[in-house]
Structure 1
Amino acid sequence: MTNLKSKLTFSHVSYLWDEETAAKLTGDEVALLLYRSNLLGSDLRLTNYGGGNTSCKTVEKDPLSNKAVEVMWIKGSGGDIGTLKRSGLAALYLDRLLDLKNVYKGIDHEDEMVNLFNHCIYDLDSKAPSIDTPLHGFLPFKHIDHLHPDAAIAIAAAKDGERITKELFNGEIGWVGWQRPGFDLGLKLKECLDNNPGIKGIMLGSHGLFTWGDTAYDCYVNTLTVVEKCAQYIEDKVERNGSVFGGQRIQSLNEEDRKAQAAKIAPILRGLCSSERHMIGHFTDDKRILEFINSNDLDRLAPMGTSCPDHFLRTKISPLVLNLEPDADLSNVEEVVSKLQPLYEDYRKMYAEYYETCKHPNSPKMRDPNPVIILYPGVGLFSFSKDKQTTRVAAEFYTNAINVMRGAEAISEYTSLDRQEAFNIEYWLLEEAKLQRMPKPKPLSGKIALVTGSSGGIGKAIARKFIEEGAVAVLNDMDQERLAITGKKFLEQYGKDSFITVPLNVTKDEEIQHAFDAAALSFGGVDIVVNCAGLSISKSIEDHTEADWDLLYDVLVKGQFKITQAAAKVLKKQKIGGDILNIGSKNGLVSGPNNSGYGSAKAAQIHLSRLNAAELGKDKIRVNVVNPDAVISDSKIWEGAWAEGRAKAYGIKIEELPAFYAKRTLLNETILPEDIANACFVFVGGLMNKATGNVLNVDGGVSMAFVR
């Protein structure tokens, strides 16, 4: 294999090919396809999440005839090349795919061709073939990359992109004007190649780039070389011009103040964006975003929207730009909402007019008219969507769109996708079919939960349950080592978009504020707050010290009060209601020996919950209590003196406690952390939205604790 690295210098893309790794894959073209795909997908300058497609063609043995047949392996529908595995590929008989030209009725029948791809399947374990399949099939190259590099799209979206492409590459890169992906575009690519034999790639107007090679390596290097040349051309122009986007109109706040301002406004924005369903947010103040949103050209470029369909599908027709000064006073929530509400109403009206103007007789019904991308000049970009991954990726795509606008403006003039074409992509029946195939949202989809003490047995089980039911979680604990262990386990189980970790001592105001700010910056706010952090001290009244008493009341009672107070502020900003759950105890209802401090503190927690329920009900904020008893599994409380104290009080050995507690219940059951988590889910899962001020015992049945 020829090593071209020594002959090439890459400044704008990353050369990641490892010859030793690739050598182990020699002879397996599909494995080399996957290797190349993963390398390309790991560099966001080459393509974005889920964007683009890669393929290779091999000779295989037909399982029915035993004859040699040519098979095309291509990324299947909905996949991501950065994480692509063999199971994510579609494999098709190439001759059958090419034979579809014989039944093609023309561009008005494009969508009908997609179902016919299934008649070309070679590997019965194939992923569903994507709409890009014919684009790769009609090009006669062994290895093909179709990517969405910002630098290439900047040229493709420039007013005179075709001329620039021809001059920059001396005719070695062809040009095909904008057309929605499909069978006919595949024919156009083949026609371009036939008319320009010997070209090394094709630029798709407003869309992306096709490159190819005889081997996986040749294809990889060809792709890098073309993108590098596009990027260098743009940077040379930027350097010559001396500024981008017409120069800077305003200055950003410093980083600390940006984060503080973003945390204050995020819950307000989230509430306004959640008029149809709860949304999860994301915030970024990437320097590329700040350069754009602070510029003189923002008001001209932002309404134009994006060019590449992959960008547009995830970011909507255009962003919403806030009419606030970077350092605006956000302390009066009602004033801020009254100023922003008309912006949202105008955006929804604009989107409805766009839908009504562009819709077809068979178009799907109008989707949520709220903005996905919100720009706050001097502060940063907010995005809101159904889950954290989708909203994070939307922000990444809009950053790509900014890169495209920056490049196009530097070399020429940026052009966006025509509104009708944009609508045809957004409401494409094939895209709608994809949406309809997606799993039904889980009960807590779009919800954000902050569970205090979530490294302990009960708190961890609650956080796990909520994530499994669709929520995102803010994990926290004052024991940072234990929190780190929990975070590592959750990362392995649920992935990075399901949670964040924040150190939190519920008695410290600054740590409480930091935790809620982190929730706002990472997810947009909070919907469910569970006061679970706690400790226990079991001593006779003679042995109980004032320090013991103060510690119990500081953590259990004052801590619950402070967390609830901070939660209420965020929930009221959002104006979409919410839930506060307090983990009490059977001991708050039942008297027992050696328990005056803990038991009375738990009783105070329960009544504080009733008081908060009475006060917060007008804001649709529900406050309920779950009362466990003797949850010993994975509990820090039971690791030391508390277990000793309870065993002493009952005249038994420590190891006899689980059986003792189970035996005294009506159901003769041991209570586990998962039982408490399930009880919490009962309150927040959607079936108890009109219940507040309740106490739910989960203790196996202790008759003395029945709520009277």
Structure 2
Amino acid sequence: MTNPVVSDLIARSNRLGADPRNTNYAGGNTSAKGSETDPVTGQPVDLLWVKGSGGDLGTLQEGGLAVLRLDRLRSLVDVYPGVEREDEMVAAFDFCLHGKGGAAPSIDTAMHGLVRSAHVDHLHPDSGIALATSADGEALTRECFGDRVVWVPWRRPGFQLGLDIAEIAEKNPQAIGCILGGHGVTAWGDTSEQCEAHSLEIIRTAERFLAERGRPEPFGARIDAFEPLPTAERRHLAAALAPVIRGLASTDKPQVGHFTDSDVVLDFLAAGEHPRLAELGTSCPDHFLRTKVRPLVLDLPATQPLDELVDRLQVLHAEYRTAYAEYYDRHATHDSPPMRGADPAIVLVPGVGMFSFGPNKQTARVAGEFYVNAINVMRGAEAVSTYAPIDESEKFRIEYWALEEAKLQRMPEPKPLATRVALVTGAASGIGKAIAVRLAAEGACVVVADLDLQKATDAAAQIGSSDVAIGVAADVSDGEAVAAAFRAANLAFGGVDLVVNNAGLSISRPLLETTEQDWDLQHDVMAKGSFLVSREAARIMIAQGMGGDIVYISSKNSLFAGPNNLAYGATKADQAHQVRLLAAELGPHQIRVNGINPDGVVRGSGIFAGGWGAQRAAVYGVKEEELGEFYAQRTLLKREVLPDHVADAVFALTGGDLTRTTGLHVPVDSGVAAAFLR
């Protein structure tokens, strides 16, 4: 049975973490002290339950708590070697764990254990950080709270900060918490309810203070040239810029992108002070660990021609990389971890919005959310004072902290398709859906494109959250509809790396019964459709400069002359030759083009379910439900082919083991000798 202290802690954490005004995603930590019976001695033992490293308060569960013995944790004070060696104390926490210990203790564990109150919250509210990053933050804290909340000067998170806060709490018995300079807030209480109330009191009081005391235009006068473009025009330009910016942000290693054009971002970028404030960078450690110390800011109006915007971004990116390398060289010591990469995590385009990047969609999205937090912090600080984040040298100490490096090294190896964005046509069912599911399972972000938007959306939801898959409408026979689908992919994930031409249909009729409409429909969807999709994919991949994969789901019928199958076989032969032509043309851009020739995919196939199965069964004189087995028996392996087998072949071509293969057609037909390529 869960200890009531733990139940209350989880509930409090979830409530606090559910409101973004209280703390950012995965930011802050909460704790509770209580007792349990030691299973070894049978005697009560005092324990600390505290959110472990890397968890999120809004979704915290018991497994995300670190559990430590209070007596042992507090005994560390006697062996603390001083601030110059305080990093060693994190390893010492492991010797304080109770039982299996739960989650790994975070760097803030000392703060929670050394403060005597039974319950402690450490949070990163925008309002609190605004005071914490104001040039006269200490005086403003006193003005805002009196002696109810005390000021703690900036100190890097760690054991010494825990000692500092514990001492201040002891010397100020009237205080309910403190403002941590450059960082956030900490509150405490004798009960879980009281601690939560104190946290909310600090946050809401700071919000009111900033609103009532602050000046109305903290970011300065608006600049006409940087006013937001109309929504449709803004989104269209963002979609055009996204692959270019993603390619720049992926110079050192591939990244996934996220786009935000919220009012908060657009208003900040329209104001005259945004270049100065952006250059100062973020302050809260949680912020700049995700966003880097400062963003890249485009300094041209969005109304300039696209090629001029692109040229300027390329120049600014080169300057950013040089400046970041100089920042590293200024502060690195002999034992600093190697530079992790000089590309920006945040790119701001006035009039358009913000592009944020990370090794996966969630990280990219959260980086953008953190920069919105930073904008809110800047607004609050500038409203009542001057924004004054912590020194650059302190930011470096945290960004390249050995403990942060160790945390990165503990992360699991990325999946084979991590950072790759895939768009699959005809992906709401059958072979296309099986491909989309497999690519997502291997780490890709997936755009499920289908003629039916609702089916595409439903299929994407079955695959995962919008950080993993989205559904878009795509009539592949319509060039503008195809372009719109790719624009949606660019806005969702930053671009596209892997495209599967799977959309198709089939009408089985002999020559004399095949109408012009039959012929045109099949060629529009598969031959023309594949051309339109590949053309748009190539535009984006070339703009990104990251290479890519285009895969055609062709057919055994591209080679085999089956009966009553002229229109379908001809368009599949067209697709098969597109593979060869595009492999030759796109190779210099490191875009590989390959094909897959399935046959006999009856179970789970959208085409067969749509009437093709009944038609082919009639041609061969078998029952429709026996068609899959019929096809299997005419193969060399005598085994039925399923949609998952086609998905396996797509992954084999794109998963990283065939990096020197292009122009290939892979048969997935259990062996049809008449369709052998040679």
Instruction: Compute the TM-score of the two structures, normalised by the length of structure 2.
Output: 0.98
Query: Residue in 2 aligned with 1:299?
Result: 275
SS in 1 for 2:288: helix
The residue type paired with residue 520 of structure 2 is D
SS in 2 for 1:174: strand
Query: Residue in 2 aligned with 1:679?
Result: 649
The residue type paired with residue 667 of structure 1 is L
Equivalent residue in structure 2 for 1:368, among 338, 341, 366: 341
What are the Cα deviations for residues 512-565 of structure 1, in whole angstroms up to 9, with x where unaligned? 111111111111110111100111111122222221111111101111111111
1:335-374 correspondence runs (5 A): 336-374=309-347
Percent identical: 49
Q: Is 1:245 the equivalent of 2:219?
A: yes
Equivalent residue in structure 2 for 1:105, among 78, 81, 84: 81
What are the Cα deviations for residues 139-177 of structure 1, in whole angstroms up to 9, with x where unaligned? 111221100000000001101111111121111101111
**Take 1:488 and 1:404, find their aligned partners in 2: how far apart are those partners?**
34
Q: In the TM superposition, what is the alpha-carbon distance from 1:630 to its structure 2 partner?
A: 1.2
The residue type paired with residue 412 of structure 2 is P
Instruction: Single out whichever of 242-251 and 425-434 deviates more from structure 2.
Output: 242-251
Q: In the TM superposition, what is the alpha-carbon distance from 1:125 to its structure 2 partner?
A: 4.8
Q: Is 1:450 the equivalent of 2:419?
A: no
Query: Residue in 2 aligned with 1:529?
Result: 499
Q: In the TM superposition, what is the alpha-carbon distance from 1:27 to its structure 2 partner?
A: 7.5
**Take 2:33 and 2:94, find their aligned partners in 1: how far apart are those partners?**
18
Query: Residue in 2 aligned with 1:460?
Result: 433
Q: In the TM superposition, what is the alpha-carbon distance from 1:63 to its structure 2 partner?
A: 1.4
Q: In the TM superposition, what is the alpha-carbon distance from 1:418 to its structure 2 partner?
A: 0.7
Q: In the TM superposition, what is the alpha-carbon distance from 1:66 to its structure 2 partner?
A: 1.2
1:92-491 correspondence runs (5 A): 92-238=68-214, 241-250=215-224, 251-330=227-306, 332=307, 336-491=309-464
C-alpha change, 1:485 and 1:285, in structure 2 (3 Å) is closer
Q: In the TM superposition, what is the alpha-carbon distance from 1:336 to its structure 2 partner?
A: 4.6
**Take 1:597 and 1:86, find their aligned partners in 2: how far apart are those partners?**
61
Query: Residue in 2 aligned with 1:13?
Result: none
Work out whether residues 152 and 209 of structure 1, in 8 Å CA contact, stay in contact via their aligned partners in 2.
Answer: yes
1:446-595 correspondence runs (5 A): 446-491=419-464, 495-595=465-565
The residue type paired with residue 244 of structure 1 is P
Work out whether residues 466 and 473 of structure 1, in 8 Å CA contact, stay in contact via their aligned partners in 2.
Answer: yes
C-alpha change, 1:471 and 1:26, in structure 2 (3 Å) is closer
Gaps of 5+ in 1: 1-24
Instruction: Single out whichever of 41-50 and 270-279 deviates more from structure 2.
Output: 270-279
**Take 1:266 and 1:324, find their aligned partners in 2: how far apart are those partners?**
16
The residue type paired with residue 652 of structure 1 is V
Query: Residue in 2 aligned with 1:51?
Result: 27
The residue type paired with residue 416 of structure 1 is P
**Take 1:266 and 1:154, find their aligned partners in 2: how far apart are those partners?**
31
Q: In the TM superposition, what is the alpha-carbon distance from 1:339 to its structure 2 partner?
A: 2.7
Work out whether residues 261 and 327 of structure 1, in 8 Å CA contact, stay in contact via their aligned partners in 2.
Answer: no
Q: Is 1:601 the equivalent of 2:578?
A: no
What are the Cα deviations for residues 610-644 of structure 1, in whole angstroms up to 9, with x where unaligned? 11222222222111111111111221211142112
SS in 1 for 2:320: helix
Q: In the TM superposition, what is the alpha-carbon distance from 1:329 to its structure 2 partner?
A: 1.7
Q: In the TM superposition, what is the alpha-carbon distance from 1:180 to its structure 2 partner?
A: 0.7
SS in 1 for 2:337: coil
What are the Cα deviations for residues 278-303 of structure 1, in whole angstroms up to 9, with x where unaligned? 11111101111112111111121111
**Take 1:194 and 1:73, find their aligned partners in 2: how far apart are those partners?**
21
What are the Cα deviations for residues 306-329 of structure 1, in whole angstroms up to 9, with x where unaligned? 111111110001100113211222
SS in 1 for 2:471: strand
Work out whether residues 422 and 444 of structure 2, in 8 Å CA contact, stay in contact via their aligned partners in 1.
Answer: yes
Work out whether residues 26 and 32 of structure 1, in 8 Å CA contact, stay in contact via their aligned partners in 2.
Answer: no
**Take 1:93 and 1:581, find their aligned partners in 2: how far apart are those partners?**
57
Query: Residue in 2 aligned with 1:81?
Result: 57
**Take 1:355 and 1:635, find their aligned partners in 2: how far apart are those partners?**
54
**Take 1:207 and 1:382, find their aligned partners in 2: how far apart are those partners?**
25
The residue type paired with residue 428 of structure 2 is S
Work out whether residues 507 and 559 of structure 1, in 8 Å CA contact, stay in contact via their aligned partners in 2.
Answer: yes
Q: Which runs of 4+ in 1 moved over 4 A?
A: none
Work out whether residues 219 and 268 of structure 2, in 8 Å CA contact, stay in contact via their aligned partners in 1.
Answer: yes
Instruction: Single out whichever of 364-373 and 337-346 deviates more from structure 2.
Output: 337-346
Query: Residue in 2 aligned with 1:12?
Result: none
Work out whether residues 77 and 128 of structure 1, in 8 Å CA contact, stay in contact via their aligned partners in 2.
Answer: yes
1:14-25 correspondence runs (5 A): none
**Take 2:385 and 2:59, find their aligned partners in 1: how far apart are those partners?**
35
The residue type paired with residue 33 of structure 2 is K
**Take 1:365 and 1:541, find their aligned partners in 2: how far apart are those partners?**
67
**Take 1:528 and 1:26, find their aligned partners in 2: how far apart are those partners?**
47
Work out whether residues 590 and 704 of structure 1, in 8 Å CA contact, stay in contact via their aligned partners in 2.
Answer: yes
Instruction: Compute the TM-score of the two structures, normalised by the length of structure 1.
Output: 0.94
Q: Is 1:637 the equivalent of 2:607?
A: yes
The residue type paired with residue 235 of structure 1 is A
The residue type paired with residue 584 of structure 1 is S
The residue type paired with residue 393 of structure 1 is V
**Take 2:43 and 2:251, find their aligned partners in 1: how far apart are those partners?**
59
C-alpha change, 1:431 and 1:564, in structure 2 (3 Å) is same
The residue type paired with residue 339 of structure 1 is R
Work out whether residues 305 and 417 of structure 1, in 8 Å CA contact, stay in contact via their aligned partners in 2.
Answer: no
**Take 1:670 and 1:541, find their aligned partners in 2: how far apart are those partners?**
29
**Take 2:132 and 2:216, find their aligned partners in 1: how far apart are those partners?**
23
What are the Cα deviations for residues 644-698 of structure 1, in whole angstroms up to 9, with x where unaligned? 2211211211122111111111111111111111111122112222221111111
Q: Is 1:690 the equivalent of 2:660?
A: yes
SS in 2 for 1:563: helix
